[in-house]
Homo-oligomer: A and B are copies of this chain.
């Protein structure tokens, strides 16, 4: 049970759960929920445990219900949909639908280890989302076990369906606070279009951020990723890809469905050059795959430098440069290392505050920096979380982002669906009524 105390977020406040329920079916989930409801026991729902905001870390006296063994998948190529249980990994789903010539776009950097259920619970994003949208854009139907143990279906294999309140959309991103998702119907696209890749290296973050802002106004790249020097060096230490260790910022951009003249590709290179890139050029597919893998490895690579507090802040795209400058100031003021990379085309970034677990003072400074970065994002009109969810770790900052009234309205929804507050208490909402 030790392995079920926490997810991938650094949370030092976890406890041993009362029990872990390895559900193999919707009925298993229902039995566990009914028992918990009867005894007033808190439930922590869990997918693959790769969450980064502490949405699946334990609370006192809880049971964990994990859907990791619920892995059935059924592709329907005729409707271009798939019905899948929540425990299947994102990469496994992608592979399964690819066998039918189809594509499930959302691609969290962790797609090889994260589950679809977790993706739906957090409305996960990824690299291609800048063009192809996030998890919510693909969810057509859900089966959900409610707080009283009933299993209810919403939606189905219909592209458009507005009959009744948009309940499917309400559950996607609700982080296990309103129900436990036990089956998902997803929309699929025809196989991924061919894409081409640009790599650009800059001498300053401001240059790269300005290039991103300009690209985002007029082009629809299929990927637009940013990495700072620290992240590039961490990845280089980790994978040895021959990256430019001296550059201050790296952009990795993709374009697909090109016009015959490769106009968008040329435009991206042009914009990067105009903003002072030391180099900006198309890279061939094998190298592009390496660079993309390098970007995806950023979190584990930075984790080799120490414990990390992982941010997921977002800002309006033109303020990306201001966010980066602000984070550098926070890093200096608190004397802690902050690695920065971003789904830049969405304005969604992942500053990683690195600290030494053994150094109490540094940990305190890291925790302070972690909060200051969220406060900075809020001040810039941004969000504390773009794709990872609030979980337990970001909850203290939620009120200052969304305000008293919005939080009160959300609490009413929560109470309407989970009056006893047994579903994932402490995630999004305080454990006790505020």
On A, residues with C-beta under 8 Å from B are 77-80, 101, 122-123, 125, 129-130, 133-134, 136-137, 146, 150, 152-154, 156-167, 169-170, 172-174, 177-178, 189-190, 213, 216-220, 257-260, 314-318, 343, 346-348, 381-390, 394, 398, 401-403, 405-407, 409-410, 412-417, 428
Residue of B nearest to A214 (CB): B78
Q: Do B137 and A137 touch (CB < 8 A)?
A: yes
Query: CB distance B413 to A165 under 8 Å?
Result: yes
In the complex the two chains form, is A406's CB within 8 Å of B170's CB? no
Closest B residue to A125 using CB positions: B160
Question: With contacts A123-B166, A164-B407, A164-B410 known, what are 18 further pairs, Cβ within 8 A?
Answer: A79-B318, A80-B217, A123-B162, A150-B405, A153-B403, A158-B381, A158-B383, A160-B347, A160-B348, A161-B314, A163-B401, A165-B413, A166-B174, A169-B172, A190-B218, A257-B259, A258-B260, A259-B260
CB distance from A12 to the nearest CB of B (A): 23
Number of copies: 2
A136: B residues at CB distance < 8 A = 166, 169
Contacts A348-B159, A381-B157 given; does A217 touch B417 at CB 8 Å? no
Residues A390 and B348 in contact, CB atoms below 8 Å apart: no
A178 to B408, CA, bound (A): 15
Interface majority SS (helix, strand, loop, mixed), chain A:
loop
Determine whether the beta carbon of A346 is less than 8 Å from that of B160.
yes
Contacts of A189 in B (CB 8 A): 220
CA distance A136 to B122 in the complex (A): 18
> Is A406 a contact partner of B220 (Cβ separation < 8 A)?
no
Q: A260-B260, A412-B417, A413-B413 are in contact. Are A402 and B163 (CB under 8 A)?
A: yes
A217-B348 in contact (CB<8A): no
A410 contacts B165, C-beta separation under 8 Å: yes
Inter-chain contact A413/B416, CB cutoff 8 Å:
yes
